[in-house]
Amino acid sequence: MTRYYRFNPESYEYTDEYVESDKIFPADHASLTPVEPPESEDGFARRWNGDQWEVVEDHRGKTVYLVAARRSDAGDLIGSLGQAIEITVLGSLPDDVTELKPGPYDLWDATNCEWVPDRLAMIEAVKGEAQRRISAVMPRWMIDREISGGTAVPREAKDAAAVIRERSNELEAMSPIPPDFTADIYWC
């Protein structure tokens, strides 16, 4: 009896062994080789290259993150900085990804291979949080009503908005800005 080793006709990854006997030769015989594949360990797979087996990295199912915008050959944006993607093919990881998960306001530092906070983006996010909080205590309709000669915005609302602006300025001056800056503890 002759042993054959089957591989996936698309990925060329080893799938199983076939022992020739008096049974009918399998229909997928083009995906068979008599060359025995080597052993492999976790994180690796065996792939037929047309002449021999090779052991390649297997990251399939892992989530990785783009460290730069990814564009098609035509220049169209197909992935943005920090975007999570799932690896679906055999082989080493592409050069433009990392397994390190970025924070919401991070930039990639290619020199040190790490995510670093984008201070300007964080300042803008602090300002946005301040505006959201001010709108909650002093909605636009209150301001419009006062401007048009109607009832004045209550003093309590104006005071609360002033405290929020002060806290926003304090947060913007911090270095680093706390990543949980939206927590109430920073705004009271």
pLDDT digits (tens, 9 = 90+) for 116-141: 999 999 999 999 999 999 999 999 99
pLDDT for residue 3 is more than 90: no
Alpha helices in the chain (DSSP H): 119-137, 140-147, 155-173
Are residues 13 and 22 in contact, defined by beta-carbon separation less than 8 angstroms?
no
182 and 144 belong to one structural domain:
yes
End-of-domain residue from the set 41, 57, 73: 57
Q: What is the DSSP letter of 74?
A: T
- Overall number of domains in the chain: 3
73 and 127 belong to one structural domain:
no
Closest CA to 19 of 4, 6, 8: 4
User: Is 125 a member of any domain?
Assistant: yes
User: Is 90 a member of any domain?
Assistant: yes
Q: How far apart are CA 13 and CA 6, in angstroms?
A: 8
User: Is 92 a member of any domain?
Assistant: yes
> Which residues are registered as beta bridge partners of 64?
85
User: Is 86 a member of any domain?
Assistant: yes
90 and 134 belong to one structural domain:
no
129 and 164 belong to one structural domain:
yes
User: Is 18 a member of any domain?
Assistant: yes
- pLDDT at residue 84, rounded to an integer: 96
Query: In whole numbers, what is the pLDDT of the chain averaged over residues?
Result: 91
165 and 142 belong to one structural domain:
yes
- pLDDT at residue 172, rounded to an integer: 96
User: Is 181 a member of any domain?
Assistant: yes
22 and 79 belong to one structural domain:
no
- pLDDT at residue 73, rounded to an integer: 86
Domain extent for 163: 119-186
124 and 172 belong to one structural domain:
yes
User: Is 113 a member of any domain?
Assistant: no
181 and 129 belong to one structural domain:
yes
User: Is 12 a member of any domain?
Assistant: yes
33 and 85 belong to one structural domain:
no
Neighbouring residues of 59: CB distance < 8 A, sequence distance ≥ 6: 43, 87, 91, 92, 93
Angle at CA 56, nearest 5°, toward 52 and 59?
150
